[in-house]
Amino acid sequence: MTTAVHGAGTVPVTPEQRGLSPVAAITFAVLRLLIAFQFLWAFADKTFGLGLATPAENAWITGGSPTEGFLSNVEGPFAGFFGALAGVAVIDWLFMLGLLGIGLALALGVGMRIAAASGVVLLVMMWMASLPIDVNPFLDDHLIEAVVLVGLAAVAAGDTFGLGRRWAATDLVRHYPILR
């Protein structure tokens, strides 16, 4: 979302005013919420060991490491780098806070620019750890989602079914637009 200058301050411009149809605005909002659920689900599963990707005995709250299983099995060109990060407490905390923060920002529709940038970093690192990709020499869902996150921030997808418009109108975000 961009802003327009009106008198003494700036006023958020709605997606419709920027040329997004209502269907496009809703589609981007739903996509934002789906990706938010994906990040939040990963956080919950790794935290509580819900038994799908993370067995209960490997839950973070019971002393398991959310990064060890995946990163210790990296086989590609970055195996040494990611293997050294596997199970490191600081990396576990950064990873889990990233999942939670990105997921909450997307779900609420606030801080979309920072969520997109952080999400891109996390997803590109996960893509690097996935190399070589079995079904495609280059592309997988991590890169696609990274590009989608940039697009969601660019179209202000947090304004529809989210708090993005209210967030953009705060003095803090008006003063620091990067927080949009």
Cis ω before 77 (30° cut-off from 0): no
Please say if the pLDDT value at position 81 is more than 80.
yes
Please say if the pLDDT value at position 154 is more than 90.
yes
Report yes or no: 13 and 3 within 8 Å, Cβ to Cβ.
yes
* Rounded-to-integer distance, Cα 36 and Cα 109, Å: 10
The verdict on pTM exceeding 0.75 is yes
* Rounded-to-integer distance, Cα 161 and Cα 177, Å: 21
Question: Mean pLDDT, to the nearest integer, of 89-97?
Answer: 98
66-77 pLDDT tens trace: 999 999 999 999
Please say if the pLDDT value at position 107 is more than 90.
yes
29-46 pLDDT tens trace: 999 999 999 999 999 999
Q: Assign 104 a pLDDT band (cuts: 50, 70, 90).
A: very high
Question: Mean pLDDT, to the nearest integer, of 79-90?
Answer: 97
Please say if the pLDDT value at position 5 is more than 90.
no
